[in-house]
A and B are shown apart, each in its own frame.
Chain A
């Protein structure tokens, strides 16, 4: 009997897919799939380090996508949730999916399937929130700049939305928590990492990095935000439910409330 093996990958999605490929290809009895650097060896399992291989990853990606388009986005979204142990959950899900005939594996009474669909939903919700809560500020060098701090790693998911929408302006969205950003240079989107001296919260304190008139537009927006609410219907609970407090520091209309 083969001893079960723990696969170690580099933390990228391609790395994970390569691990899945290797596990299928070499028929490895997988004990766990872990990120490089935070791995924990099991007592009775061996470890094997997986080197990311784009071709292999692509084959797994296409394999899942040929089964179902929904499944591939569920897998990707759930992976980006960065939840502990999501790799094994996904591995289990992919195994089950590959075993089906028609590729429609929607057994919501199975705990793995339900869990994956719930995780994907959570990440989808965060993606949608970021499309809403990004607040650009125009810098002196004519770049629309925004800080975000999303719960999940959603930058790869929102990049297309912003490229399609702001095709005629340069913009940069920077994830403060994960320390990287995406920058659109009027032609394509690229990944950047910055050395930010100070994080541009929408503080009342004004930074001189921004263009003339930037703070005037923020004031107009704050005014608009205030005058569009109806006082006799006030409902703070519903308000915070829709705009959770953890996002307030990056929203210019809420800067006085932080």
Chain B
């Protein structure tokens, strides 16, 4: 292996791949075969974290950053004047194996710019995965990017070797897509998604009858949307996320705050702030939808098209729906417990287990780990003390904000700072 050459390529192609947020290695149950190399850990492992605090679990690179498309939001777009490079298939295989053996990574995340056409590119991605699985007996995690417009045959083959497949739709609205990526059609994105989903469903059905059915993309599909590039509302984003969760049975939808990379009148200017707080609120909403039993129209609807930046979405929902509260933690069912602000799913489970033995009071709840500064206004427990005042939503919000602090507070605070 030519060390200097590979080093140069790695720098270029890892740098171009970093805007893909997903680095999940969880959800696959591939086990080690014939004393080969590797197994996929069900829970996933983050082997390191970047200095911006994101998990590094996979070797995330592009096969090449040559691209025939000219999408405004993308660093590797055709019109951008950057250094281009391309890995050979064997180079990617060597890097993956050697990193994996040293316990640096859980596996490979291979994406690519589109050279020549979609099928030509997809074929090369599949070839890397195939080589890893069949020649190196590699059982670690492989995440392949589905190239928009790739044929059904190639998508089928990809799923046989990869643990997860993903297509990034990037722009949540069709009108935004027309504006920012005029060469791409919405159907190009959804066609591979649909194929993979149908195959997953088919393989699952077959496994029920024949236990030895091979795995097909066991960690499912994911996608990603850019936040804050095309002026969409939070409602647009979350409604389309819900659509992808339902229609294509996505395992995850990722939200990526747009990092300005180009001087383009259609996009936020270079140097404008990355909308990290908004991204955070969207993830919180995503969690509420997937784990807490909320419906998307409870949180975002016609009257509330955007999330409240000051407080988290669950608290903001509770403040709009004070008639559901206070909830008695010793009596309420799981669904209702999960709706109390300041109580997470871990605490819900602990409360359900513990209250079989005795009625819980503030002390117990505090030790269990409930965030009482928020929860106290919305619940009663085995104590004579609870919030008896008839407070309105604004008052409660003010009191909670007063007793808490957040690193993003200065971005939306109306209070002028004294030393600035």
Q: Which residues of A contact B (CB under 8 A)?
A: 106-111, 114, 128, 131-138, 144, 146, 161, 164-169, 216-217, 219-221, 223-225, 227-239, 241-243, 251, 253
B207 at interface (Cβ–Cβ under 8 A)? no
Residues 101-132 (chain B) with a chain A CB within 8 angstroms: 101-104
Complex: how many Å from CA A202 to CA B242? Answer: 46
Complex: how many Å from CA A225 to CA B48? Answer: 9
Q: Which residue of A lies closest to B3 (CB)?
A: A216
Q: Are B364 and A228 in contact (CB under 8 A)?
A: no
B212 at interface (Cβ–Cβ under 8 A)? no
Q: How far is the CB of B261 from chain A (nearest CB, A)?
A: 9
Q: Are B53 and A235 in contact (CB under 8 A)?
A: yes
Q: Are B53 and A242 in contact (CB under 8 A)?
A: yes
Contacting chain A: which of B37-45, B142-150, B387-395, B410-418? B37-45
Q: Are A217 and B48 in contact (CB under 8 A)?
A: no
Supposing A166-B37, A233-B274, A242-B53 touch, asked if A251 and B48 sit within 8 A by C-beta, the answer is yes
With A165-B37, A232-B260 known, 10 other A-B pairs at CB within 8 A are A108-B364, A108-B368, A136-B102, A138-B102, A168-B37, A220-B6, A227-B15, A227-B18, A243-B49, A251-B48
Of the A-B pairs whose beta carbons lie under 8 Å apart in the complex, a sample of 17, sorted by A's number, is A107-B354, A108-B350, A109-B360, A144-B102, A161-B41, A166-B37, A167-B35, A167-B37, A225-B50, A229-B52, A233-B52, A233-B257, A233-B276, A239-B50, A242-B49, A242-B55, A251-B48
Residues 340-365 (chain B) with a chain A CB within 8 angstroms: 350-351, 353-358, 360, 364
The interface residues of chain B lying within 8 Å CB-to-CB of A235 are: 51-53
The interface residues of chain A lying within 8 Å CB-to-CB of B99 are: 217, 220-221
B160 at interface (Cβ–Cβ under 8 A)? no
Q: How far is the CB of A120 from chain B (nearest CB, A)?
A: 14
B: contact size bracket: 35 or more
The interface residues of chain A lying within 8 Å CB-to-CB of B357 are: 107, 109-110
Q: Are A228 and B53 in contact (CB under 8 A)?
A: no
B154 at interface (Cβ–Cβ under 8 A)? no
Supposing A223-B10, A228-B14, A233-B259 touch, asked if A134 and B103 sit within 8 A by C-beta, the answer is yes
Q: Are A132 and B368 in contact (CB under 8 A)?
A: no
The interface residues of chain B lying within 8 Å CB-to-CB of A237 are: 407
The interface residues of chain A lying within 8 Å CB-to-CB of B205 are: none
Q: Are B50 and A229 in contact (CB under 8 A)?
A: yes
The interface residues of chain B lying within 8 Å CB-to-CB of A135 are: 102-104
Supposing A109-B354, A165-B39 touch, asked if A227 and B11 sit within 8 A by C-beta, the answer is yes
Q: Which residue of B lies closest to A251 (CB)?
A: B48
The interface residues of chain A lying within 8 Å CB-to-CB of B101 are: 136, 138, 144, 166, 169
Q: Are B10 and A109 in contact (CB under 8 A)?
A: no
The 4 closest A-B pairs by CB, nearest first: A238-B53, A229-B50, A106-B353, A233-B52
Q: Are B51 and A229 in contact (CB under 8 A)?
A: yes
